[in-house]
Structure 1
Amino acid sequence: MQIIQDQVYAFSKNNKPATTAVPGEVLQFVTKDCFSNRITDETVTMATLDYGYDGANPAAGPVYVEGAQPGDVLVVDIYNIEVADEGTVATDDHCGPLFEGTPYRSKKVPIVDGMAQFNEVKFPINPMIGVIGTAPDGEDVIDGYVGAHGGNMDNHLITKGTRLYFPVRVPGALLQMGDVHAAMGDGELCGTGIEIPARITVRVGVLKNFELHWPVLETFGPEGRWYVNASGQEYNEAVMAAAKELQRLLMRITGWDATDTYMYMSLQSDVEISQGCKPCEVQLSLRIGTPKLSQFGPLVG
């Protein structure tokens, strides 16, 4: 199994691949926390950190996947996420609805036997990947930002046992990932989860010649669902993008017209906020989930 440890701070078609993989190969990405492991103790806060192009949300990679070409879809199965034994949650002066009057603070959160210890409260961890995606074919996108390529989606469903589908826009796709959280609530209200170094084990695949505009996530089991992930500077922009893509994909498999599909979505599809710590400059990230329709086949594929 190849182990990828190189770190990059933007999704870019110009990033030099850390390695090359073939479809079906299992890889392990070794990641730093979103602070580049620079908050060494609680005396260090985000006030002292350079959070620019080369300071935030480092991602391991990128990986050039053989056979992935523009117009294809990169498939990523998440096999495991192993986290360190301590993470960090922190506040800054511009992020989240309660930023006014909230001081800079860093808090170390121990992880013991799968449980996080926050002050006197213990709760189970749910390791998830905050930043994951492929390279855009246009301008670089800093790892802390989100877009149609993926990036900083901060979707707590991106965890062990899920499958992701990304549009391929450059040869080799250039997959990279990082910003693991041991736990994070929907919305990520103060702008951070339990930020933590990790080892992520995935399998990569390629779906040839499939039109996809935004990343899609698939969950499994009796309650398995499909989720279209989209973003925008404001809620209405993000929800319109996700709804249009879900509508298009559902129409393709069901044969329904746009209006019937729209009505069905209103009955069975849920809008969920992934990351919405406004007024932070990072775009709002959301997902629209819909039940699997076994009689029609997969939404993507």
Structure 2
Amino acid sequence: MKILDNLNYVFSKDNEPVCTASPGEIITFKTADCFANQVKDESFTMDKLDLNKANPTAGPLYLEGAEPGDVIAVDILDIKVGKRGFACSIPEVGPLAKFSEMRTRIFEIENEYVEFGGLKWKINPMIGVIGLAPEEGEIACGHAYKHGGNLDSKKITKGTTVYLPVEHPGGLLQIGDLHASMGDGEVSGTGIEVPGEVVVRVNLIKDFELKWPVIETEDKWYVNGVGDNFSEAFLSASEELLRLMKPAYPLDETDIFIYLSLQGDIEINQYVHPVDGEMPSVRYGVPKTEYAKPLIEI
């Protein structure tokens, strides 16, 4: 098993691969926390951090045979998080920013549980950043778009598969920004940020058009959309979900629209506005059913 443990802060076709894998191979990505392990205790508030070292990822991984127009399927086999993490509030970020001061809280993780002010709950380890090289230019690991990136979906966890559209030879997969626990929206700007390891299996789907990242869970398909606002993000996810459902479901476009009104779920991945350059990320899901074909098949 190959282990990737470097730090990379942007997605770009110019990033030199640190590893090559064949379809079906199992790889471990070893990552720092979202601020590259700068936070040592609760005195390390946002004003004392180097924000140029945000959302580091391990990689990129070059998948043999991957070409533009293909899809890379990433099976999340395991996520192991560290024993200590942090969460914080960020000035002027999130819907309750006007009620909040700048603060950092440290969390000790014991037997898969965390405690906070007398409250206790089981962690839900997840991947914040996962993506391939974008079609053009470079995109900071803290941002999300069609290539993936900082999707911050709590559905990207052990047992799920993430499908990503390939824009450049090898795809150039990067993974980082693990959370021990995070609610939808990540409203204060962070989850419980932790270092850790992700074990994945990488597969290749040849000649399959995919416009936005897709997540397959045990019981649902989700399309992830990004936009300047929630309406644009939802529209992106909706149009791609419709396009993927058309060849798989025994319904025309209008009936799919009606079906989604009955069975579809729109959920928020991340909303940390007004961080400069950040855009809302949403997921639009539909239940799996024996009465329709899978949206994507390997």
TM-score greater than 0.5 by the shorter chain: yes
Say whether the 8 Å CA contact 2:55–2:177 is kept in structure 1.
Answer: yes
In the other structure, the counterpart of 2:130 is 132
The letter of the residue matching 1:10 is V
The letter of the residue matching 2:34 is C
Percent identity, please: 47
Deviates more, 1:189-198 or 1:40-49: 40-49
In the other structure, the counterpart of 1:246 is 241
Q: Deviations over 1:142-187 (max 9, x none)?
A: 0000101100000001000001100011100000010000000011
Secondary structure of 1:254 counterpart: coil
Q: How far apart, CA to CA, are the structure 1 residues paired with 2:234 and 2:99?
A: 30
Structure 1 position 235 matched with structure 2 position 230: yes
In the other structure, the counterpart of 1:190 is 188
Give the alignment's TM-score, normalised by structure 2: 0.97
RMSD: 1.0
Q: How far apart, CA to CA, are the structure 1 residues paired with 2:235 and 2:151?
A: 17
In the other structure, the counterpart of 2:286 is 290
1:22-61 paired onto structure 2 within 5 Å: 22-52=22-52, 55-61=53-59
Matched residues, number: 296
The letter of the residue matching 1:283 is M
Secondary structure of 2:295 counterpart: coil
Q: How far apart, CA to CA, are the structure 2 residues paired with 1:296 and 1:234?
A: 32
In the other structure, the counterpart of 1:2 is 2
In the other structure, the counterpart of 1:299 is 295
Query: Residue 280 of structure 1: CA displacement?
Result: 2.9
Structure 1: where are the runs of 5+ without partners? none
Query: Residue 95 of structure 1: CA displacement?
Result: 1.3
The letter of the residue matching 1:28 is T
Secondary structure of 1:233 counterpart: coil
Structure 2: where are the runs of 5+ without partners? none
Secondary structure of 2:97 counterpart: coil
Say whether the 8 Å CA contact 2:125–2:178 is kept in structure 1.
Answer: yes
Say whether the 8 Å CA contact 1:74–1:168 is kept in structure 2.
Answer: yes
Structure 1 runs, 4 residues or longer, greater than 6 Å off: none
Q: How far apart, CA to CA, are the structure 1 residues paired with 2:296 and 2:233?
A: 20
Secondary structure of 1:7 counterpart: coil
Give the alignment's TM-score, normalised by structure 1: 0.96
Structure 1 position 259 matched with structure 2 position 246: no
Q: How far apart, CA to CA, are the structure 2 residues paired with 1:192 and 1:161?
A: 23
